[in-house]
Structure 1
């Protein structure tokens, strides 16, 4: 029997594959999946003069489109998801911010339903188990030590959809909670921390595997007190998150981290709050108020940087144009590495037969020309079918 699935053949683009760039490559989509194509297939779309990349994967995002995952509303969450999808992020996990445990459990209940219906790939709890001295845009009065019983409550509230939890391992219960998360199959991420080098090493040995936005919300590197940064950079078991918006990290620092860890261990994230995809103004971030001026988000009270207004297409463009990264390395950091870290590499993160047809089309200036998710164009098709 012939398949009833619609087939689309994308040709002519520079296709970024796991093996490199195929100039004038060919990708065939049937239904929601990438398949091996035939040379005589109808439905061809000519993408000459464009780039074809795997859909971006964001493992740390709080909001966008004027909405926030922490609102505890499915409607707001879908607005966040829709905003970032149009910028190429076809897979994301929802990040919360510090709140009462009961509030976070309620948010987890709402967001877990969106995971179950396929809109999200999981949940990330950032706080409340973080250091007050490095809390950034998290409400200090709501912080608490990472008691393993409380950690388990949050994970249980997510009903099997929790993929990551950020904590400060130097706090009482920190190392025990890292071990618990490993047992539960949830990523333990080190962040918003005052841990020294030795404690960070202990946390890695206990099972921590991600550095939450490396360099930000942790002690800076010092030659006699190295702190967590070198411990996280030097260990092959750690994937480091980097916010490539030009505000959170100087290009020289980003380049240093990228060269040291390599694209296999770097995940570019947005850490975006509600202003992503919007203009300047005042926005909520959990219980906090954030003012965005010229695209930079800071707390109304205190002035700390409060997430970003970044989208991953901008992070890609900056990686290539400003940081000088090869396109293949940028794609690995934006798609392949985060997909692998989140345990999603069987379905997303690269352009390969059998994977979801999550694709991003960029023009020669690396600007979004089309986005496909599971075989459906969210914007586009970018060009008319070839005659």
Structure 2
């Protein structure tokens, strides 16, 4: 990540900064010959260069594009840290800092299926990180353990279990928002989904072998997304549409997509985007593991070795185990391999996740006055040239 021109440095953040000399994509449209003004960590205005306040520190970026910082709702690890192994504030900070290098300004640390004590620790850690204002920590995603063993993926089947009354109490009293919870529709009934949703939890259906009707019942109960569409779920068949078919057919359901070329074929990604009905959209997620940002050939997941080979992460039996993907890599893949327009790919990485989380009205996923100054600078070569989180560079 190339540091922008002085006077802004990672250690000194002026109260007013103007980012200039760059195309600006505000999440909806592009602007030219404009400056983006940051004041006290928030977007102040978009204005002509010659109207910038006299007290602003000028940062000449020398071309490229400013866009809303990426928002990743499924991040298992990064910087050598796996959240399951380090459900702590420091673990969260390490993960967020690692992904910031690749344009992600906000993320949900994601805990995959584990023991109740680890889940409790993860909830407490995210609550503390939010209280402390840890840069990049937006909320929490619990992926399991209430999944279908038949669609376990890399989750440890010995730890997958049914949801009981105590689990419901823990989840509804977690005190974390946004909180995304991935469950299998056939193991968590609609009435329980409704109770979770009424408590403010964003229920996502995944690792599920449910049929179309079961999925639609879960969506009717309030579930609003599917976790990594196509992967670890009942497929789309011409007589049995499955969870994939239900997700594409349900208008207000959002679909997480892992765009790394290993989890889903580019053609399938394009077909899904063209087939998706309604206001729900495809949102890019990394499902990233600890390898992002570090040089490591392998790591341990619930006592099992995961190997890294040319960007592919697998258990010894060949099962995909998360990804080595970054958000900028996902955006480039959608543009270069799937043929998605640049601005649409950027929305899939920022605006659409913010809308799914219910945070777009607060300015997340957009560059609008009053919103958080969470910004990524993309160079003319479409590399990450700089990142601002809450107006702070670096």
Aligned to 2:348: 333
Contact 2:105 2:374 in 1 (8 A): yes
Structure 1 residues 68-77 or 24-33, which shifts more? 68-77
**Alignment partner of 1:266 is 2:278:** no
Q: Secondary structure at the match of 2:170?
A: helix
Provide the rounded CA distance (Å) in 2 between the counterparts of 1:162 and 1:357. 19
The 2-side partners of 1:148 and 1:289 are apart by 34
- Work out the CA distance in 1 between the residues paired with 2:183 and 2:304: 20
Contact 1:178–1:206 (CA under 8 A) maintained in structure 2: yes
Quote the offset at 1:138 in angstroms: 0.7
Q: Does 1:130 align with 2:147?
A: yes
By how many angstroms is 1:99 displaced?
1.0
In structure 2, relative to structure 1, the CA distance for the partners of 1:25 and 1:245 (3 Å cut) is farther
Alpha-carbon distance between aligned partners in 1 of 2:199 and 2:62, rounded to the nearest angstrom? 47
Aligned: 1:74 with 2:89: yes
Q: What do the CA deviations read for 1:243-278 (whole angstroms, capped 9, x no partner)?
A: 011111111001111222389611100000111122
Shift, 1:153, TM fit: 2.0
Shift of 1:26: 2.0
Find out whether 1:357 has 2:373 as its counterpart. Answer: yes
**Aligned partners of 1:177, 1:118: CA distance in 2, in Å?**
32
What residue in structure 2 maps to residue 381 of structure 1?
none
- My pick for the range that moved more, 135-144 or 270-279, is 270-279
Tell me if structure 2 keeps the 8 A contact 1:280–1:295: no
Q: Per the alignment, do residues 182 and 30 of structure 1 end up closer, same or farther by CA in structure 2, a change over 3 Å counting?
A: same
CA RMSD of aligned residues (A): 1.9
1:212 is aligned to: 227
1:9 to 18, 26, 38: 18
Q: Is the 8 A contact 1:283 1:290 kept in 2?
A: yes
Alignment check: 8 A CA contact 1:280 1:294 kept? no
Give, in whole Å, the separation in 2 of the partners of 1:23 and 1:224.
50
The answer (yes or no) to whether the contact 2:193–2:218 under 8 Å persists in 1 is yes
Map 1:113-152 onto structure 2 (within 5 A).
113-119=128-134, 120-152=137-169
Shift of the alpha carbon at 1:351?
A: 0.8
8 Å CA contact 1:97, 1:285 repeated in 2:
no
C-alpha separation between the residues in 1 aligned to 2:170 and 2:288?
26
Aligned match of 2:3? none
- Return closer, same or farther for 1:264/1:51 CA change in 2, 3 Å cut-off: farther
What's the counterpart of residue 74 of structure 2? 60
On the 8 A contact 1:168/1:174 being kept in 2, the answer is no
Q: Which residue of 2 aligns with 1:45?
A: 59
Give distance in 2, aligned partners of 1:330 and 1:182: 29
- Aligned partner of residue 338 in structure 2, secondary structure: coil
Greater Cα shift, 236-245 or 32-41: 32-41
* Structure 1 residues 274 and 360: CA distance shift in structure 2, 3 A: same
Post-superposition Cα deviations, 1:174-206, rounded to whole Å, max 9, x if no partner, equal 323211111111011000000000100111101
Within 1, Cα distance between the matches of 2:311 and 2:139? 27
Structure 1 runs not aligned, ≥5 long: 379-387
For residues 194 and 147 of structure 1, the distance between their equivalents in structure 2, rounded to whole angstroms, comes to 20
The aligned residue for residue 203 of structure 2 is 188
Separation (CA, whole Å) in 2 of partners of 1:77 and 1:201: 34
Shift of residue 40, structure 1, vs aligned partner: 4.2
SS in 1 for 2:158: helix
Of 210, 217, 221, which aligns to 2:236?
221
How many pairs were matched up? Answer: 372
1:371 aligned onto 2:380: no
> Which residue in 1 is equivalent to 2:35?
26
Contact kept in structure 2, 1:280 and 1:293, CA below 8 Å: no
Q: Equivalent residue of 1:130, what SS?
A: coil
TM-score, normalized by length of structure 1? 0.91
The superposition leaves residues 160-184 of structure 1 with CA deviations (integer Å, 9 ceiling, x where unpaired) of 345110000112x432321111111
Distance 1:183 1:330 in 2: 32
Partner of 1:322: 337
Structure 1 CA distance for aligned equivalents of residues 28 and 350 of structure 2 = 14
